Amino acid sequence: MLSKKEMISAYIIIIVAIGIIHTCYGHSISRGSFPKGFVFGTASSAYQYEGAVKEDGRGQSIWDTYVHSYGKVLDFSNADVANDQYHLYNEDIQLMKDMGMDAYRFSISWSRIYPNGSGEVNRAGIDHYNDLINALLANGIEPYVTLYHWDLPQSLHDRYTGWLSTRSIKDYAAYAETCFKEFGDRVKNWITFNEPFTFTVQGYALGIQAPGRCSIFKYTVCGAGNSSTEPYVVAHNVLLSHGKVVDIYKKKYQPKQGGSIGITLDSFWFEPATNSSADIEAAQRALDFFLGWFLEPLIFGDYPKSIRNRVENRLPRFSQTQSSKLKGAFDFIGINHYTTWYAEDRNGTNKTTEVLLDDSGVLALSNVVGKPVHETAHSTWLYIVPHGIRSLMNYIRHKYGNPLVLITENGMDDGNSPSTSINDALNDKKRIKYYNDYLTNLLAAIKEDGCNVGGYFAWSLLDDWEWGAGFTSRFGLYYVDYNDKLKRYAKNSATWFKNFLAS
């Protein structure tokens, strides 16, 4: 009989092999290649798209505060206007309709509904999202609504440090329930949180996203924080918030409204840097810390053992009631997947610091001697490895019982160089190949491997304001001319999607 160590090694190797062997599964794919009812859409978020940050009673979010602090964004830009989708949503809906998209994933700005995070509802905010939802449905596009995409009301951070306090659970639940009441008769797909790993680590361990807390770069990047404890506290409160909101929805709203609810988690795929058992185990730990941290409480009711063993008493514990409420608290799991990295063992057992990034004992590498060198997108972290999406889907199928998965984001960016003409920017051959190859591997995961995947959302409909990268990065199927009234132009990838969806 294989030891547990040998089983983990064999498990990772098999999944890596499956992905690599079938990287080129077919060359001609279309909507018709996918199962009947498979959903295709595009994705966005309120803060990156809407603009209008001071209109119609919207309150300030932590991102408004963060980006107006000097040096937080690469190009010193902000999202005060962004793509102005707050005013231009009807035009953008026609772009989706022209491509033949089934759905649109967008987020609601909490501070448009509750300018102070709680208290009195802002009816102008309710009216705006009613108009957006109605316009989508009138054009045959199904809304997929994310309740939280990183833009916590600033007032809640000021009042009790936001997600660091258990008070956030009650306020988030009240906000979510307002959305269910106001929009749930038409919105049938809800996502509680987008990428809790990202905003937890980057906002509370590294300090490079709002609210910019950390201790490892104290006095240079961050003015306050504790990188060894705060990320785990935030993650715990976010998970408890998710569990509470799903419980409310399933008991009070789902029976009448008939919708579904889930959460969106982000994960790279990790491959061992070498075939050594140490690196194979490191790849498993990387997945535990990246994906399992948030997924295992929803599947098994607790954090992965590898995290518990390494973080020890800095990792909060769930009560039995909390654990039972979290276990199975989803109808689907959203997965945002962009890239694949290598994992090398860094044996964190004898680490000298107790911070989240050291806890895993993994060194994540973009390239390794003797391994394939992957092409990169504009973002330096985004390596183009199409078989990674198939490997990740198979990993979820094997380890977590094949839950229903929606790919809620997948895409790549080009740079935004002033020397690049609009015509050249529209000719985005690399993006077309990226989508074709990732969708080809996703199709193989579904049809050949039996992975339970029900939808795919491209990131993103439009070029947008990309958080710390500002406007230096272009992820869109449509080019946005920031120098000429935010005019939208279809890139060749938009035409490719139109043909893909029509065939």
Q: What is the pLDDT of residue 403?
A: 98
The alpha carbon torsion through 384, 385, 389, 395 (nearest 10 deg) reads -140
> How far apart are alpha carbons 268 and 3 in whole angstroms?
27
Contact 330, 264 (CB under 8 A): no
Q: Are 163 and 235 in contact (CB under 8 A)?
A: no
Per-residue pLDDT of 414-466, as tens digits, reads 999 999 999 999 999 999 999 999 999 999 999 999 999 999 999 999 999 99
pLDDT for 261 equals: 99
Tens digits of residue pLDDT in 377-389: 999 999 999 999 9
Torsion angle (degrees, nearest 10) of CA 160, 166, 169, 172:
10
What pLDDT does 354 receive? 57
What per-residue confidence (pLDDT) applies to 28? Answer: 86
pLDDT at 406 over 70: yes
pLDDT band at 8 (very low <50, low <70, confident <90, very high): low
> Is the CB of residue 225 less than 8 Å from the CB of residue 213?
yes
- Please tell me the predicted confidence (pLDDT) of residue 12: 64
Residue pair 104/137 in contact (Cβ under 8 Å)? The answer is no
Rounded to the nearest integer, the mean pLDDT of the chain is 94
Distance CA 386, CA 409 (A): 14
Q: Is 195 annotated as catalytic? A: yes
User: What confidence score (pLDDT) does residue 356 get?
Assistant: 72
**Per-residue pLDDT averaged across 49-63, rounded?**
98
Torsion-angle region of 17 (φ positive above 0: left; ψ -120 to 50: alpha; else: beta) = alpha
Pairing of strands 473-474, 414-415: antiparallel
Domains of the chain with CATH codes: 33-502 (3.20.20.80)
Share of the chain above pLDDT 90, in %: 91
Q: What is the mean pLDDT of residues 165-189?
A: 98
* Nearest CA-CA partner of 442 in 11, 34, 32: 34
- 230 given a catalytic annotation: no
Q: What is the pTM of this model?
A: 0.95
3-class SS string, 378-421: CCCCCECCCHHHHHHHHHHHHHHCCCCEEEEECCCCEECCCCCC
Flag whether pLDDT at 14 surpasses 90.
no
Q: Looking at residue 27, what is its pLDDT?
A: 61
Tell me, what's the pLDDT at 130? 99
Q: What does the block give as tokens for 288?
A: 């535990």
Lowest mean pLDDT among 151-165, 182-196, 359-373: 359-373
Residue (of 2, 1, 22) closest to 394 by Cα position: 22
Out of 50, 230, 409, 466, the active site residue is 409
Give residue 26's pLDDT.
44
Identify the active-site residue in 50, 195, 271, 281.
Answer: 195
219 band by pLDDT with thresholds 50, 70 and 90: confident
3-state secondary structure of 72: coil
**pLDDT at site 503:** 86
Q: 3-state DSSP call for residue 38?
A: coil
